[in-house]
């Protein structure tokens, strides 16, 4: 009998697709208003996207919430998927013995799914009942795409700093006796994808996080694909299901995946995943929890009313979050040749100090007002003429304020080639700096952080749209 992942590979090759389409009739949208609405939404989605799907992934919770009617709708949705396309029930079960066996019976025999997502916290006993038959499969949580996944999954297990998720990937790879166990590894963490691929070279990965969660498709595929160009299921839900034309959205993403597959060298672990050791989600959490970013109605210095306000000075009161952004910036610095970090007053001074400590980088800073006594030094810190400094700041808008600072350093015989910032507000600074011969490096773009804050519940859909419209101004 054909194993589950052999069936996956057959579909991937015949349809030339790695696209997994999530079926998520969200409670806050019209399709989540009733079991009937959820079923209609799902059936329409399947009808319009079947040509491009490697697999469908209905979210069990969004149907179960309606009780018996929801279960009946979920069963009807699974039955409507064409036979050649496997169905993965997104239920994240995690129990043992007869309870796990009952969950497996429900998923596979009652509902008709081909595979299921599982939690491995109880060990192999919690997975075995689901994978005893070769034609049924399981994707086991390993490094999930959510911002707080590192609370547990990144715990270092040894002096080398090996994270728990790497141990899990290695361990779970030995649970696949019938070629029917895969891993869930978020596309939001391409470095984790690379590490997991190293220890589980043959397994299939389900990679959520592209689209609304901000994962980078090229980085994810580069790190996670197997040498044969297979082995990854790129999962997308809202980006397709909520599109005006789901069929076109599915085709576009399928095609984009295939273009990237054809142009990359697979198997490389990215040196930086929006900051390497620190992901976009980590930065989003740090800025939100420290209230460096706030949402509402704020009067800016210009008098303009803004739905978003950013003040990085608050980071000094949150050492953990200050360290997070320092690590993100230090990762950017690894690809730049320089002698000293030049932090700009005032918000970037504590950030620059933290970066200096994290990366052991000598730091200098320009004085806003030159001293009229003592050494009358315009720059604090040691430096020698001819050295290269990298400008470090918290934010950049259009880049205008950076030129004056750069001029002060160059007037003193220092070289400046690069500007590094924590957040780029995406108001044209990059091209302007490039035109003057400077390269801009940012740990995060504001429009990449917004989906993270939406996912975290920091803002709702209306605020997200309002802020995005304001930024695009």
Residues with a known catalytic role: 92
Please tell me the distance from the alpha carbon of residue 30 to that of residue 204, in angstroms, as a whole number: 34
**Three-state DSSP state, 447:** helix
Please tell me the distance from the alpha carbon of residue 205 to that of residue 185, in angstroms, as a whole number: 6
Tokens 């984009």 locate to 256
Say how many C-beta atoms besides its own lie within 10 A of residue 411's C-beta: 9
CA dihedral of 409, 413, 418, 419, whole degrees rounded to 10: -10
Q: Tell me the C-alpha to C-alpha distance, in Å, between residue 132 and each of 127, 129, 175, 181.
A: 9, 6, 10, 11
Comparing CA positions, the residue from 254, 214, 195, 222 lying closest to residue 54 is 254
Show Cβ contacts of residue 304 under 8 Å, excluding neighbours closer than 6 positions. none
**Structural contact between residues 254 and 263, judged by C-beta atoms closer than 8 angstroms:** no
**Three-state DSSP state, 456:** helix
**Structural contact between residues 147 and 284, judged by C-beta atoms closer than 8 angstroms:** yes
Q: What size, in residues, is the chain?
A: 473
234 forms beta bridges with 19, 207
Provide the angle, in degrees to the nearest 10, between the axes of the packed helices 348-359 and 319-333: 70
Comparing CA positions, the residue from 59, 69, 53 lying closest to residue 14 is 53
Please tell me the distance from the alpha carbon of residue 382 to that of residue 412, in angstroms, as a whole number: 13
| Paired tokens of 233 | 């299921």
Alpha helices by DSSP H, listed for 162-226, are: 164-172, 190-199, 217-224
CA dihedral of 242, 62, 184, 286, whole degrees rounded to 10: 70
**Structural contact between residues 174 and 183, judged by C-beta atoms closer than 8 angstroms:** no
- Which DSSP letter does residue 455 get? H
Q: Tell me the C-alpha to C-alpha distance, in Å, between residue 155 and each of 158, 159, 166, 275.
A: 9, 12, 10, 19
């Amino acid at each position: 009998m054909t194993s589950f992942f052999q069936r996956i590979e057959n579909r991937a090759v015949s349809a030339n697709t790695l696209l997994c389409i999530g079926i998520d009739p969200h409670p806050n949208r019209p399709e989540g208003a009733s079991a009937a609405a959820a079923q209609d939404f799902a059936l329409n989605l399947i009808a319009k996207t079947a040509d491009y799907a490697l697999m469908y992934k209905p979210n069990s919770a969004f149907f179960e919430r309606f009780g018996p009617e929801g279960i009946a709708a979920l069963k009807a949705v699974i039955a409507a998927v064409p036979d050649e396309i496997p169905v993965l029930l997104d239920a994240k079960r995690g129990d043992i013995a007869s309870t796990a066996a009952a969950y497996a019976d429900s998923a596979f025999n009652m509902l008709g799914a081909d595979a299921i997502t599982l939690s491995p916290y109880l060990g192999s006993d919690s997975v075995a009942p689901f994978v005893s038959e070769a034609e049924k499969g399981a994707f086991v949580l390993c490094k999930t795409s959510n911002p707080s996944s590192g609370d547990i999954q990144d715990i270092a297990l040894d002096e080398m700093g090996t994270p728990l998720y790497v141990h899990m990937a290695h361990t779970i790879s030995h649970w696949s006796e019938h070629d029917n166990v895969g891993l869930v590894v978020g596309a939001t963490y391409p470095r984790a994808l690379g590490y997991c691929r190293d220890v589980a070279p043959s397994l299939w990965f389900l990679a959520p996080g592209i689209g609304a969660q901000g994962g980078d498709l090229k980085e994810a595929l580069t790190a996670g694909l197997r040498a044969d160009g297979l082995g990854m299921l790129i999962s997308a839900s809202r980006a397709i299901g909520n599109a005006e034309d789901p069929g076109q959205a599915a085709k576009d993403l399928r095609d984009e995946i295939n273009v990237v597959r054809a142009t990359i060298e697979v198997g490389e672990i990215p040196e930086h995943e929006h900051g390497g050791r620190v992901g976009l989600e980590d930065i989003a959490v740090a800025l939100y929890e420290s209230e460096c970013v706030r949402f509402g109605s704020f009067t800016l210095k210009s008098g303009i009313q803004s739905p978003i306000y950013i003040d990085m000075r608050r980071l000094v009161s949150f050492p953990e979050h200050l360290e997070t952004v320092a690590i993100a910036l230090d990762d950017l610095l690894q690809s730049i040749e320089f002698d000293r970090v030049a932090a700009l007053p005032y918000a970037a001074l504590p950030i620059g100090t933290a970066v200096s400590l994290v990366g052991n980088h000598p730091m200098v800073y320009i004085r806003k007002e030159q001293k009229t006594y003592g050494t009358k030094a315009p720059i604090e810190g040691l430096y020698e003429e001819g050295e290269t400094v990298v400008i470090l700041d918290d934010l950049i808008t259009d880049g205008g304020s950076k030129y004056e600072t750069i001029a002060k350093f160059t007037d003193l015989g220092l070289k400046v080639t690069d500007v590094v910032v924590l957040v780029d507000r995406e108001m044209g600074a990059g091209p302007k700096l490039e035109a003057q011969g400077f390269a801009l490096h940012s740990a995060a773009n504001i429009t990449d952080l917004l989906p993270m804050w939406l996912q975290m519940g920091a803002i709702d859909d209306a605020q997200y749209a309002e802020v995005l419209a304001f930024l695009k101004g």
